[in-house]
Amino acid sequence: MIRLVVGLGNPGKEYERTRHNAGFWLVERFAQASGVHFRKDAKYQALVARLEGSGAWLLLPQSFMNASGRAVQMLAGFFKIKPEEILVAHDELDFAPGVARIKQGGGIAGHNGLRDISQRVASHDYWRLRIGIGHPGDKDAVADYVLHKPSQEDKVAIDEALGRALEILPLCLSGDMQGAIQKLHSSEPKPKKVEAPKAEEKPKTEAKPKAEAKPVAKKDEAKNEPPKQASRQEAPAQAKPGLLKSLFGKK
């Protein structure tokens, strides 16, 4: 059973809408939906609220991200809350906006808030509710990326993930962690398939029909006249003019 729900973020107006405060966003909405209000507790250096019925605590550390573990350690120590009874909501670089998942234990993946909590409570066995914010693509750009507001498109996707996460928090508080996991993960939207752009097809040039070879017409055929048949009787050879003269010139 979850007895302490922690939201991670940075205090102050300049950070309240930045990606790193996704954990704050979830726990603040849960408190509002549950009808409870946070109060500032100087002893824990945190905003604290307690749910009626279950008696579970909601906690928003106010000592900046890299010192989040102090408030968790003090409140959990005072009320004897075990690590496996703690759920930490935080931003997750490795998930795209719109993704939200739960797991218990594991590494800290470079998250300063998780690092401080693990060191303070001397355990990795607490539960994590990871809210995807996407990755800038360059590890050197991460620090600047998480401290800026998400784009409008990403903000819409993150809000949808927060809405699905809110629905399973009552299951976590009742101790049905497997039911919470199944419900949250099965409701995750499927990623859209990105189709590769089709190469532009060049218009096909129609092959010109080859000109049919015209039969070579005979001279007579070219004039559309029937071919003349060769005469069987050849014309007699003309007499040579010199010979006639010699024959008829004599008396």
Measure CA of the first residue to CA of the last residue in the chain; give whole Å. 161
Sheet holding 57-61, edge to edge: 39-41, 46-50, 57-61, 4-7, 86-92, 127-132, 100-104
In whole angstroms, give the CA distance from residue 88 to residue 124.
Answer: 11
* Three-state SS annotation for 156-181: HHHHHHHHHHHHHHHHHHHCCHHHHH
In whole angstroms, give the CA distance from residue 161 to residue 131.
Answer: 7
Which of 20, 37, 135, 185 is catalytic? The answer is 20
Angle in degrees, 0-180, between the axes of helices 22-34 and 152-174, rounded to the nearest 10 = 60
Which residue in this structure is represented by tokens 């209000």?
37
Q: Is 124 among the residues known to form the active site?
A: no
| 112 φ/ψ sector (left φ>0, alpha ψ -120 to 50, else beta) | alpha
Which pair of structure tokens corresponds to residue 71?
């408030």
In whole angstroms, give the CA distance from residue 90 to residue 88.
Answer: 6
Strands 57-61 and 127-132: unpaired
In whole angstroms, give the CA distance from residue 132 to residue 154.
Answer: 10
Active site residues: 20
